[in-house]
Structure 1
Amino acid sequence: MELFYLIVFGALGVIVATLELSKNNKDRINTSSAFNSFKNNYLLVYSLMMAGDWLQGPYVYYLYTTYGFGKGDIGQLFIAGFGSSMLFGTIVGSLADKHGRKRASITYCVTYILSCITKHSPEYRILMIGRILGGIATSLLFSSFESWLVAEHNKRGFEQQWLSLTFSKAVFLGNGLVAILAGLLGNLLVGTLALGPVAPFDAASCFLAIGMAIIISSWTENYGDPTESKDLLTQFRGAAAAIASDEKIALLGAIQSLFEGSMYTFVFLWTPALSPNGEDIPHGFIFSIFMLSSMLGSSFASRLMARASVRVESYMQIVFLVSSAALFLPVVTSFLVAPSTVKGGSISFSGCIQLLGFCVFEACVGLFWPSIMKMRSQYIPEEARSTIMNFFRIPLNIFVCIVLYNVDAFPISFMFGMCAFFLFVASMLQRRLLGAAERSGPLDKVREVEAEPLNA
């Protein structure tokens, strides 16, 4: 079955390369040299930030086991990370809007580096502090950088459509190519060089430090609240009022929570789904296959968003339906394919089918990220962008914590069925969002009018 992994990886690689090399003028957006310089600077920083994040992911659980902690203790550590992201997310998001997104991005680097340093200690309390710091850093990663980009893009007077180019390239590089390279580097450090399970965290600290130096030297500051007079409570109320008063923002938040909740649940479930009887599967190589699938999705997204006639709100309905069907596949195979009772060995036939379905889901993830970024740039008001984006993460983190706490209480097929249902609901909400957007008119035109004085 090792040949199966190579065939899947090779086929995906050929498709991605063909898509990228076959782009014509309709698939590309003509931009200025000033924008290209700005975009490349952001992509470099974003790739370094994501390298720091991806290097850690595959080795967190493994590191805790080498310190002698059991599944229960490790589960509590993971819950602490998601819980801190939920509790502190809105606070750090509001601080970013008030005191500056550049400062918040630097804070992300410092916080995550400190989290990496705690991994050198086998003390449970120190590791718990590290997870809390990591949760805070995650909230900053998924709000401050995007908020800085959107504000700076608009402040410099670049065309609104060019923003989608930066989003798609960021996902293609940061969530695809960098993830694959980070996995290979981590395997080199831990496996080939035998530097121990802490080595990837030290390497992550180095990438984060380099990125922080670039931010300090080349980024300008921007803010969400131009008056800088609102306290945190006022910002919370303003963000909550914006969500409650605009159906599009509320729908966007619900859609994001449903999809990302299913995505993070999938992260915990794919390993036991592919190796229910302790099958010997190459986790690192499968991770690379998933990331290549994500690159495929982001490549499709860049083509779609390059066409002004194609609406993100329209094609995302199909993306959510396809992702729902992909995660429902383990439920189908549990009924149609007889379960294997052989312990160990290579991946089973049902595992091969599920792996292909998981690749489809990861391709949908690659489509989701730049598309949701595009919609957030259209619908979320600038003055409270980071605050609102972290509000969206509250139900997401609650959902993931509940799943982690009850992961042994339900069969895997039930968990996948639940995720598939959530994704189907997301598709229905996306349809409603499309209707609401059509009734209110295209916001891109509004933003273009607002940007005219900057272009003059």
Structure 2
Amino acid sequence: MAELDIYWIGLLALLPGVALVAGRKLILRSLKRSTDPSEKDIVGDQRQREALAKDFRRTFLQVYLLVMGSEWLQGPYLYSVLRDEKHLSPNMVAILYTATYSTAALFAPFTGILADRFGRRAACLTFCAIHSLSSLSVLSEAIPILVLGRMLGGVGITLLWTAFESWMVTEYNARGLGFGQTAIRLSDMFGIMTTANCINAILAGVLAHCVVLALGSKTDPFMLGLALDAGAALLMLRTWKENRGVGAAMAVMEGEINSTSEGVSQRKSSWFRDLMASLQDRRILILSMVSSCFEGTIFLLMFCWPGALKEAYSRGSGRDQDSKLLPYGVIFANFMAAMVLGALAFNILMRRSRSLADPSCSTSTLPTALLSSSLMLAGLCFLAAAFAKSELQLFVAFLLLEACNGMYVPSIAYQRGRIVKDSGRASVYGLMNLPLFLFVIAALLTTAEDGGTHRFIIFIFCAVLLLIAAVVSFIGLRDSQEGKGDFIEVPGFDKDVDTCEEEKV
């Protein structure tokens, strides 16, 4: 067990930091409520708006965290199941991963469009069904079934990355929460999603490790994920309303659009125009390029880190790397703990910028600066990983990479939420993911080799790509954020600094 100490020590060192930073707000808020009688004076419409905002947050997060928990239970063990339990070659594992992202690339242009047309809730329910079938496929030893399962997983990825966030943003706008001066802003929702999701992933990683130790098979976390998918589907059926394009949904509620063929044709025409206008927006092209670079390199990291850590252990100890029994769930929990610290840093910086600086400046330039900074630092971390000599150095570089990931996720989500129109949000998100899937496919086709020299080249390539993306994002997005009206206003980012509330964690 001594050889595994660095991962347990890392987790024990990170968890107090996560608890301290995340819990600080809750403690301060409770003290403020107990000593500040002014909060008791909040009555009428404001109290009702706050209650609606909290109900919306709870309604979304309880479903979102269940489906993400299912994914996090399985993620750390997929590579190990294929390599260690099914004894597939590195080349075959790469082919299975490629099947996932090839399918995702094929369906990316269509899943978002179908979600906008037939409903985002329906798309989320479809994800639960597809993800469950994909999980069941790992029980089989037959290559065709494993390939089919990975292909279903690819469809699931496109739904997971488009439908849930699209439902949340559209529902947030439809309820008028941002314009109602509630304490939960849209940027706060992105920060809350990332923070809660990372804490969720920490718990899922440790739980998956315990399940594997108790039951003896690395396929057992996949079966536990089935129960979470089923619970999420039941909650969606009970608590979520369907939404499509916000323009059409709001018009239907107000009785402004009739059910005639002419009205339907007008809605389709408006949706198509919005979609085409979005795809011609230079900022959306920049975001697609940035997300392809960052998220693609993170996928390569997830594919490479088990072998990289094993090889570093072998190099430092002189033992065969197959003797290294990595606690995959614990390492994954470390990664997620680092990621949640990055997300909390985003929350804190955004809150302080709203309270200390000119709000019209902070809400337009700071997210871009944070996005570019996370890309730049991630590139430097990949350089450090490429030249790391010991297992500990490599592990620390990976932790820092995940911290950058934690800051990147709410930053890019803020940019997407600000730029993309609600009427075609899921469609645009799906198309924006297409370059990412193509990038991952091309990268996976080069990862059949399993040697350290090959991983060194991959890490150097990732570093260069991220440094380029950092420069492009800073130049391309900064110039368009001067308050000239070409951005879609994000509900909740008010011009009045006095309306800023304490950040919700």
Which of 252, 267, 275 is equivalent to 1:239? Answer: 275
Which of 343, 353, 359 is equivalent to 2:393? Answer: 353
Could you say what secondary structure the match of 1:223 adopts? coil
| Gap regions ≥5 residues in structure 1 | 338-349, 451-456
Alpha carbons 2:186, 2:492 under 8 Å: kept: no
Alpha carbons 2:385, 2:398 under 8 Å: kept: no
Which of 257, 280, 296 is equivalent to 1:261? Answer: 296
Question: 2:368 aligned with 1:313, yes or no?
Answer: yes
- Per the alignment, do residues 2 and 153 of structure 1 end up closer, same or farther by CA in structure 2, a change over 3 Å counting? same
Residue 292 of structure 1 deviates from its aligned partner by: 0.6
Which of 362, 377, 380 is equivalent to 2:420? Answer: 380
Alpha carbons 1:116, 1:205 under 8 Å: kept: yes
Residue 359 of structure 1 deviates from its aligned partner by: 0.9
Question: 2:277 aligned with 1:223, yes or no?
Answer: no
The residue number in structure 2 matching 1:127 is 146
The residue number in structure 2 matching 1:344 is none
The residue number in structure 1 matching 2:60 is 42
Give the structure-2-normalised TM-score.
0.79
| Aligned partner letter, 2:99 | A
The residue number in structure 2 matching 1:342 is none
Alpha carbons 2:271, 2:423 under 8 Å: kept: no
User: d(CA) in 2 for partners of 1:411 and 1:119?
Assistant: 28
The residue number in structure 2 matching 1:324 is 379
The residue number in structure 1 matching 2:307 is 272
The residue number in structure 2 matching 1:147 is 166
The residue number in structure 2 matching 1:91 is 110
- Per the alignment, do residues 169 and 383 of structure 1 end up closer, same or farther by CA in structure 2, a change over 3 Å counting? same
| Aligned partner letter, 1:97 | D
Deviations 1:401-427 (A, max 9, x none): 111111146621111111111111121
Could you say what secondary structure the match of 2:243 adopts? coil
User: d(CA) in 2 for partners of 1:236 and 1:411?
Assistant: 45
Residue 448 of structure 1 deviates from its aligned partner by: 7.0
User: d(CA) in 2 for partners of 1:81 and 1:232?
Assistant: 31
- Per the alignment, do residues 408 and 232 of structure 1 end up closer, same or farther by CA in structure 2, a change over 3 Å counting? farther
Larger Rg: 2
| Gap regions ≥5 residues in structure 2 | 33-38, 40-48, 249-262, 315-320, 495-505
| Aligned partner letter, 1:184 | V
| Aligned partner letter, 1:173 | A
Which of 294, 300, 305 is equivalent to 2:339? Answer: 294
- Identical pairs, percent: 28
Alpha carbons 1:179, 1:288 under 8 Å: kept: yes
Residue 251 of structure 1 deviates from its aligned partner by: 1.1
| Aligned partner letter, 1:150 | V
Question: 2:479 aligned with 1:435, yes or no?
Answer: yes
- Per the alignment, do residues 449 and 330 of structure 1 end up closer, same or farther by CA in structure 2, a change over 3 Å counting? closer
| Aligned partner letter, 1:239 | L
Alpha carbons 1:101, 1:222 under 8 Å: kept: yes
User: d(CA) in 1 for partners of 2:278 and 2:458?
Assistant: 33
The residue number in structure 2 matching 1:340 is none
The residue number in structure 1 matching 2:348 is 303
The residue number in structure 2 matching 1:8 is 10
Alpha carbons 2:112, 2:427 under 8 Å: kept: yes
Deviations 1:153-193 (A, max 9, x none): 0000011761122211211122x122122222222322213
Could you say what secondary structure the match of 1:158 adopts? coil
Could you say what secondary structure the match of 1:411 adopts? helix
Could you say what secondary structure the match of 1:406 adopts? coil
RMSD over aligned Cα, in angstroms? Answer: 2.7
User: d(CA) in 1 for partners of 2:380 and 2:268?
Assistant: 42
- Per the alignment, do residues 230 and 75 of structure 1 end up closer, same or farther by CA in structure 2, a change over 3 Å counting? farther
- Per the alignment, do residues 89 and 254 of structure 1 end up closer, same or farther by CA in structure 2, a change over 3 Å counting? same
Which of 124, 133, 136 is equivalent to 1:105? Answer: 124
Give the structure-1-normalised TM-score.
0.87
User: d(CA) in 1 for partners of 2:469 and 2:210?
Assistant: 39
- Per the alignment, do residues 440 and 427 of structure 1 end up closer, same or farther by CA in structure 2, a change over 3 Å counting? farther
Alpha carbons 2:91, 2:448 under 8 Å: kept: no
User: d(CA) in 2 for partners of 1:325 and 1:287?
Assistant: 21
| Aligned partner letter, 1:76 | I
The residue number in structure 1 matching 2:498 is none
Question: 2:468 aligned with 1:425, yes or no?
Answer: yes
User: d(CA) in 1 for partners of 2:212 and 2:462?
Assistant: 33
Alpha carbons 1:289, 1:359 under 8 Å: kept: yes
Question: 2:213 aligned with 1:191, yes or no?
Answer: yes
Residue 229 of structure 1 deviates from its aligned partner by: 4.4
Residue 232 of structure 1 deviates from its aligned partner by: 9.9
User: d(CA) in 2 for partners of 1:411 and 1:192?
Assistant: 36
| Aligned partner letter, 1:185 | L
- Per the alignment, do residues 108 and 314 of structure 1 end up closer, same or farther by CA in structure 2, a change over 3 Å counting? same
